[in-house]
Amino acid sequence: MAHNRGKDDHGKDDDAGGKEPLTRKEYERELKVLHAELVKLQLWVKHTGAKVCIVFEGRDGAGKGGVIKAILERVSPRIFRVMALPPPTEREKSQMFIQRYLPLLPAAGEIIIFDRSWYNRAGVERVMGFCTEDQAKKFLATAPFVEKAIVESGVIFLKYWLEVSEEEQTRRMESRIDDPRKVWKLSPMDLESYSRWYDYSRARDEMFEATDTQWAPWFVARSNDKKRARLNIISHLLSRIPYEDVPLEKIKLPKRQKSHDYVEADYARHRVPERF
């Protein structure tokens, strides 16, 4: 296997609490190494036809989007594909709950990342009353068997829960109020969800109890420190996939063709103003 930094298969608590925050330079240095490994993983997946599915769950403000963005920064969106589904249509509401997710699972040579997943039913839908308690409990009873079928079909399946403290979630939510780049993240639903911290805690605990299985365990990442959380999660997911270096031909740029009296045309009639 090409990478095993930070491996902790036994769920040991390696919270960054008490550590000095990483500097931007330290973070970018470590992320550069991990990005190179993600590219190796991409090449291996494409070469071998492997199928990888990664689920990210957690409270609002836990940092799921930042982790996913860090993963995607240097890889191909044709191989690393993110799924973030909108609310179900009326037709989808009449289907088996997990049905609309199944067509999105990876085919050969794909890495599918779910930014929230079928676990909506165990979390936001249950807490906010979008499903009944009976529906939520039926989901928790059946999800492990669906996931076992996914794994037995040859998919490498990883589930991550990002855990943020009450205080840090509050700080992040407050920071969105006056930031025009983040205000879209504060919908009425987000605000209502924020008020129900302990309802979400109870739902999370029951979800773990029912769906933390041998074939599809949950991996919990403490995310109060965003930079460390991103590095830890990327390092861990690399350690869980048995990828190897793929032999590559040496790349050499070919010679460019000769101009053959070509004259540059004045094609740029409409230029972008150079304001910066």
Q: Does the pLDDT at position 12 exceed 50?
A: no
Please answer whether residues 62 and 164 qualify as being in contact, where contact means their C-beta atoms are separated by less than 8 angstroms: yes
Residue 4's pLDDT band, with cuts at 50, 70 and 90, is very low
pLDDT at 268: 75
Cross-strand partners of 52: 111, 156
| β-strand pairing of 155-163 with 80-83 | unpaired
The string of pLDDT tens digits covering residues 166-212 is 999 999 999 998 889 988 888 888 888 899 999 999 999 999 999 99
| β-strand pairing of 218-222 with 155-163 | parallel
pLDDT at 43: 98
Please answer whether residues 182 and 175 qualify as being in contact, where contact means their C-beta atoms are separated by less than 8 angstroms: yes
- Per cent of the chain over pLDDT 90 is 77
If residue 51 lies in a helix (H) or strand (E), which one and from where to where?
Answer: strand 51-58
DSSP secondary structure of 214-266 = SSS-EEEEE-SSHHHHHHHHHHHHHHTS---PPP-PPP-PPPPPP-TT-----
DSSP-derived 3-state class of residue 124: helix
Tell which residue, 15, 33, 31, has the closest CA to residue 23: 31
Q: Provide the residue ranges of all domains of the chain, joining segments of one domain with +.
A: 24-239
Helix intervals (H) in the chain: 24-48, 64-72, 90-93, 124-127, 133-152, 166-177, 188-194, 197-211, 226-239
pLDDT at 19: 82
* Angstrom distance (rounded) from CA 93 to CA 95: 6
How is residue 201 written in tokens?
């805690």
Residue 18's pLDDT band, with cuts at 50, 70 and 90, is low
* Angstrom distance (rounded) from CA 21 to CA 226: 10
Q: Does the pLDDT at position 15 exceed 90?
A: no
Mean pLDDT of 92-109: 94
* Angstrom distance (rounded) from CA 214 to CA 171: 35
Distances (CA, A) of 178 to 75, 98, 103, 164: 32, 37, 39, 21
* Angstrom distance (rounded) from CA 134 to CA 147: 20
Mean pLDDT of 237-263: 93
Taken as a whole, the chain contains a residue count of: 276
pLDDT at 125: 94
Task: Give the CATH fold of the 24-239 domain.
Answer: Rossmann fold (3.40.50)
Query: Of the ranges 67-71, 97-101, 153-157, which one carries the lowest mean pLDDT score?
Result: 97-101
Q: Does the pLDDT at position 17 exceed 60?
A: no
| Backbone region of residue 53 per phi and psi (left: phi > 0; alpha: psi in -120 to 50; beta: other values) | beta
Please answer whether residues 123 and 56 qualify as being in contact, where contact means their C-beta atoms are separated by less than 8 angstroms: no
| C-beta atoms surrounding 162 within 10 Å | 23
Query: Of the ranges 1-15, 58-72, 76-90, 221-235, which one carries the lowest mean pLDDT score?
Result: 1-15
| C-beta atoms surrounding 97 within 10 Å | 21
Q: Does the pLDDT at position 23 exceed 80?
A: yes
What is the rounded radius of gyration, in angstroms, for the C-alpha atoms of the chain?
22
How is residue 112 written in tokens?
């599918």
